[in-house]
Structure 1
Amino acid sequence: MVSAPQPGGPEAAPITLPQRLLDSLSNDPQSPARVWLAKLPELVAHQLRGWELTLERVPSPGGRSSLIVLVRQADGTPATLKFPAPGPYAGHERAALAHWNGWGAVHLLRDDPESGALLLERLHSAVSLRSLPEAKALLEAAGTVRRLWVPPAEGHPFDSVATRTGKGVETLRLIAAGTWAADARPLVDEALELREELSGQTPEHLLLHGDFRQGKVLAGERAPWLAVGPTPLVGERAYDLAQLVLDRCEDLAAGSGPAAAARRRVAKLADSLDVDRDRLRGWTLFRAVEAGLRHAAVGDRRRGELLLEFAGWL
């Protein structure tokens, strides 16, 4: 058990880090994330004291790349204390949330650059758009994501879509070279050609969520629905919307005529947000192939094959 005392002395109940987080980040003993995990209990205790927060609980199973702690502020207001894992984009969530300033996204109350801690308004973590029927969920998702698409701040730290997607091209080629991926190679080739074409003629320069899907939109008090957990970058809306097209793809696969249903979803979302259909189809195919190969490479062949099948429908 990895734990830290609550403010109040060594007799206080410990904080236990969720097993999902430990499993996700503990594989490489030399990883900066492994070192961070060892220091995390102390960081949590320090932040609770420094910001005069009262611990409520650590939600479980929690996330794979950050620790979430439910707390109350000195005035009794509920809040969420978040510690994102270290990495090349560790400070980007803070920068994006500060720029949105609560418009369409969870409100950043305060942050600590030294520890990376973020104090966020408390949302209803158990109620996401995935709790709604699909048609209603897509409508609410579209209304939420359009608020996030604003010009980035001057001197922002975010990658462009071209840069972010370009960094993974060689890795995708290596994964696709595996014997098991032989049937997927024509799709991989098409996906990489589309990425090259779409990246070379970006029509927009907007701040994007980066990982926008129904599970990343939670119910709130200040607004009905607010986005959380961005991996922000800058580029065109079609790239951001592609992840939403892929949402609940297992539901489409279980229904009749999944290929036609997938193409209808592309058309409906593109038209509702005034996004070019062909560009949305292209980025959706690329993101489906990219995610499918990565899932399959880490052993989740079922999810990987479903995403590759979805790409084939397009």
Structure 2
Amino acid sequence: MAFEPPQRLVRALGELPPTERDTEWLGRLPELAEEALKRRDVTAQRVQAPGGRSSLVLLVRYADGTPAALKLAPPGAAPDRELDALAHWGGFGAVRVLDSRHHEEDGALLLERLHPDVSLRSLPDAKALLEACGTLRRLWVGPPQDHPFETVAERTAAQSELLRSAPPEARPLAETALALRDDLTSAPPEALLLHGNFRQGKVLAAERAPWLTVGPDPLVGERAYDLARLVRDRLEDQMAASAGAAGARRRVNKLADSLEVDRERLRAWTVFRAVESGVRALAADRRRDAELLLEFAAWL
């Protein structure tokens, strides 16, 4: 079987500052996939398509027929931190790690098989948000002692560098986002283990639970930061709706109240994360995405 890198992954890596390790990893991906399969004594069935923006996922089977999924991610995606977070959650609200014995050799993750083609995006939005909130409640736990995760303040400090060099068309919003971030990180209210990249597409149907999350980019901080990405899910639908800015604000309030999160902190983190994503999209020449994100941020 040929393990060609998914085009979404190739494009996503192309938008990031190139690193020698990630470039080498992408060039060797077919070979690395074969080696990872042999180490774990599993057989590939197919590549999960269209695939993610940060990894190659192979649907595999053990010799006894037990299904699993093998995930290979570039070094820059910090697969070690993903493993640490999944191990800490222990399958509660998240996909379960089946075998981590060879992780140090190749960074690959052997995970339980979920239903990769059925995410919360297959549900009506109101039902999807309800299920998403239930999943988040399970994930928000205290981090392990001496944990390896960066904090929300550390991650957003690095992201702020891009905002400071935003092009003129995005500069007013970038300045607003930077001011909000300074306010939010001056006195963070809590330090919980967060998914870091939570949205409806990251929650898949499963056998041992109705829905389990995948693909964390874990960090430690407040719940409002984690919830902020969910606010803008199905962005094109939200932008096309007649409710407009009022609808976006109602969505913030509804999600905040559902999970007992401060409304104003959720609104502010949603603005920061939308502007940061919008400026990043501009830098990658994804103008349509950038315009939607920045307009949504302006609504809030």
CA distance in 2, matches of 1:22, 1:192: 30
CA change 1:244–1:14 in 2 (3 A) is closer
Looking at structure 2, the residues matched to 18 and 206 of structure 1 have their Cα atoms a distance apart, in angstroms, of 33
**Distance apart, 1:23 and its partner CA:** 4.1
Aligned pairs for 1:30-179 (under 5 A) are: 31-87=20-76, 89-111=78-100, 112-174=103-165, 176=166, 178-179=167-168
- Give the residue type in structure 2 aligned to 1:252: Q
Q: CA 1:248/1:58 → structure 2, altered by over 3 Å: closer, same or farther?
A: same
- Aligned twin of 1:300: 286
Q: Which has the larger radius of gyration?
A: 1
Letter in structure 1 aligned against 2:29: L
What is the TM-score of this pair, normalised by structure 1? 0.90
1:119-173 CA-to-partner distances (Å, cap 9, x unmatched) read 0011111111111111001000000011000000011111100000001212211
**2:3 is matched with which residue?**
15
Q: May I ask how many residue pairs the two structures share in their alignment? A: 297
3-state SS, counterpart of residue 238 of structure 1: helix
Q: Does 1:281 align with 2:270?
A: no
CA pair 116-148 structure 1, distance change in 2 beyond 3 A: same
Aligned partners of 1:198 and 1:29: how far apart in 2?
Answer: 31
Equivalent position to 2:214, from 228, 252, 256? 228
Q: Structure 1 residue 189 and structure 2 residue 178: aligned?
A: no
Q: Alignment partner for residue 256 of structure 1, among 238, 242, 266?
A: 242
Conserved 8 A contact 1:26-1:33 = no
Change (3 A) 1:51 1:273: same
> Distance in 2 between the 1:221 and 1:187 partners?
43
Aligned-residue identity in percent: 61
Deviations 1:2-28 (A, max 9, x none): xxxxxxxxxxx4433333333443688
Against the structure 1 CA distance between its residues 155 and 30, is the aligned structure 2 distance closer, same or farther, given a 3 Å change threshold? closer
Measured in 1, the distance between the counterparts of 2:18 and 2:273 equals 30
2 CA distance for matches of 1:33 and 1:24?
12
CA shift at 1:190, angstroms? 1.4
Using the TM superposition, give the Cα deviation of residue 87 of structure 1 relative to its aligned residue in structure 2, in angstroms. 1.4
Q: Which amino acid aligns with 2:8?
A: R
The structural deviation recorded for 1:29 is 7.5
Q: Which amino acid aligns with 1:18?
A: P
- Shift in Å, 1:217: 0.5
Farther off after superposition, 133-142 or 66-75 = 66-75
CA contact (8 A) 2:203 2:211 kept: yes
Structure 1 stretch displaced more, 186-195 or 238-247: 186-195
Q: Distance in 1 between matches of 2:179 and 2:10?
A: 37
How many Å separate the matches in 1 of 2:273 and 2:244?
18
Q: How far apart are the structure 2 equivalents of 1:69 and 1:19?
A: 15
Structure 2 CA distance for partners of 1:14 and 1:201, relative to 1, 3 Å: same
**TM-score using structure 2 length:** 0.95
Give per-residue Cα distances to partners, 1:250-295, cap 9 Å, x unaligned: 1111111210100000100000100000100110111111111111
Opposite residue 61 of structure 2, the aligned amino acid is R
CA gap 1:24/1:188 in 2 versus in 1, 3 angstroms: closer
